[in-house]
Structure 1
Amino acid sequence: RPRKRQCVVISVVLCLLLFVSSLWLPQEVFLSCDQSWRPCLSVYAATREIVHDVTPAPGGDVIRECAGQKFQVSRLLHRLNSALGPASDVLLEPYLLCWEELIKFMESLGPLVGFFTHKVEEKIILLRHLSQEEAAKHRSVPHQPTHNPQSAGPHPAYHSVRSMLEAELQRGVVSFDSQTASGSRTLLRLHRSLLWLQLLLEKLGAEPEGRSMGELCREAYLQVLAPHHPWLLQRAAELVFRAMPERTVFLQLVCVRRQEEAEPVINIIVTAIREIHRRTERELNIRNMLELP
């Protein structure tokens, strides 16, 4: 009876968290499952067969393509490299495409991780909406020659991280005292989440195999995201970590069989993510935007 009561309490709490957070559980992540609602990792059995198509990576390493899964390391790496703009800038749309690949990675870890991906998707939609609004304004105004780089092109303000932060700062869109639906504040939230994923990958590459993915994910979360989340959100995250799969699922995702094979692949991804994060951090920092409410 106590066991049954505990299960009921956990179920009620989980339902409440799903309601409060508007949690969306992905329905089309694992196309090979017979029932779309059932959490299913059986699709990964196919990835034990390593496909021989490979993608060269910096340093002479090779990234394998894995059959039967939506997430591909090579595609993520391509997106990350494409987001690197001139003069240490970060191109905004390629940056959002990076996040779409990272969402595939997170969804592949199980349906409950949709708790995180749903929030990321909301931010991607908001940033694209702002960019489209800006483009529409420029299309409605007759083109006039200008020497202002912030006014050149179809959607200059949201072309890159630097141009967006600077434009919103000049327009008074950013508030340092209250929450606003600005692109700058939204980017900051994505920026923190990117660091969380970076730390998780670093831990997966460096920590011994005895430690579970849930443990490593929790550690990275406590370091980066938990200080910015309310208590209720932290409790919901704890449930997600407990439901995370074994590390073997991660090995299959990056198309390797053993931990030592995963390390060079992880290092390549982490290096690319770290550069994106470093550039974004610099742009936010020089404008004092790292602690926007």
Structure 2
Amino acid sequence: MAGSVTAEEQKFCLKEVLDTFKLCLTENKEVYLEHYVAGWRGLVKFLNSLGSIFGFISKDAVNKIQILVTYLNGENGSQYVTVQSMVKYELDNELVDITRRGSHPESGCRTLLRLHRALRWLELFLERLRTSSEDSKTSVMCAEAYNESLAKHHPWVIRKAAGMAFCVLPGRPAFFEVMNVSPPEQVVPMLGEAIPLISEVYQVTEGLYAQHNLLDLP
């Protein structure tokens, strides 16, 4: 019985991610770190459900999630309630390596920036999935989304590996099956609801990081 529960917990569900990102923003458009992390847990399930080809991104995301959870549960957890409070706290206390990797390689700001960049890639890819036709090549959609977002932050060897991984992606129907939406024809409308929420969280974070010159943390 326990095994089946674990399998179910590992299964991606688009609605869960949608519901989580709905909770991400406060009334003042601040980003709750706890819900951001929970949303990413769901996106990791999405990556993992497509097989090992996205392992290079999902493993890194899991590592980053764990670092942020440690901050949330730590003695200064109250400073990490929102991304905005985290940025203020870490900058005020010089806990961020601004120009080079130094004594704070796992600062909350740097850790979240890596997830932030990957979120843009997933947002762009999911939007292409939503608007494409049934026989559209997912490999092309994924590569285009990657080249517009994450590629510029990755060394050549990872870009090469990613390009090879995208070539063996399953077709669009397989992606829709992974979404775990019933009935299946609800996938496109649900993506239409989820993507703007993900996009808004991304844009709020992007604006905050730009304001504090944090978009290029080493």
TM-score of the superposition, structure 1-length normalised? 0.66
Structure 1: where are the runs of 5+ without partners? 1-27, 32-66, 136-154
Match for residue 84 of structure 1? Answer: 25
Q: Which amino acid aligns with 2:164?
A: L
Q: Kindly provide the amino acid, as one letter, of the partner of residue 129 in structure 1.
A: T
What does the per-residue CA deviation read over 1:225-262, in whole Å, with 9 as the maximum and x for residues that have no partner?
Answer: 1101001111121222122211111121333556xx54
Q: Residue 88 of structure 1 aligns to a residue in which SS? A: coil
Deviations 1:61-119 (A, max 9, x none): xxxxxx99811122111111112123110000111000001111111112222221001
Higher relative contact order (CA 8 A, sep 6+): 2
Instruction: Give the match for residue 131 of structure 1.
Output: 72
**1:1-293 paired onto structure 2 within 5 Å:** 31=7, 70-135=11-76, 155-179=77-101, 180-254=105-179, 255=181, 257=184, 262-293=187-218
Please give the per-residue CA displacement for 1:242-291, whole angstroms capped at 9, x wherever unaligned: 22211111121333556xx5432221110110111121112111111112
* CA distance in structure 1 between the partners assigned to 2:9 and 2:212 by the alignment: 44
Q: What residue ranges of structure 2 are gaps of 5+ in the alignment?
A: none
Query: What CA distance in whole angstroms lies between the structure 2 residues aligned with 1:68 and 1:188?
Result: 27
Displacement of 1:221:
0.5
Report deviation, 1:216: 0.8
Partner secondary structure for residue 31 of structure 2: coil
- The percent of aligned pairs where both chains have the same amino acid is 34
The 8 Å contact of residues 76 and 101 in structure 1, kept in 2 or not, is answered as yes
TM-score between the two structures when normalised by the length of structure 2: 0.88
Give the letter for the 2:214 counterpart. Answer: M
Do 1:110 and 1:245's aligned partners in 2 also have CA atoms closer than 8 Å?
A: no
Secondary structure (helix, strand or coil) at the match of 1:101 reads: helix
**Is the Cα contact below 8 Å between 1:251 and 1:257 reproduced in 2?**
yes
Amino acid of the residue matched to residue 92 of structure 2? Q
- Residues 24 and 32 in structure 2, CA contact (< 8 A), matched pair in contact too: yes
Work out which of the two has the higher radius of gyration on C-alpha atoms and give 1 or 2: 1
Deviation at 1:207, TM superposition (A): 2.6
For the structure 1 residues 157 and 248, does the alpha-carbon distance in structure 2 shift closer, same or farther, using more than 3 Å as the test? same
Cα RMSD after superposing both structures = 2.1
- Partner of residue 152, structure 1: none
**Higher helix proportion (structure 1 or 2):** 2
Give the number of aligned pairs. 209
Partner AA of 2:83 in structure 1: V
Change (3 A) 1:88 1:68: closer
Other-structure match for 1:64 = none
**SS of aligned partner of 2:28:** helix
In structure 1, distance between residues paired with 2:75 and 2:156: 36
Q: 2:153 is aligned with what amino acid?
A: H
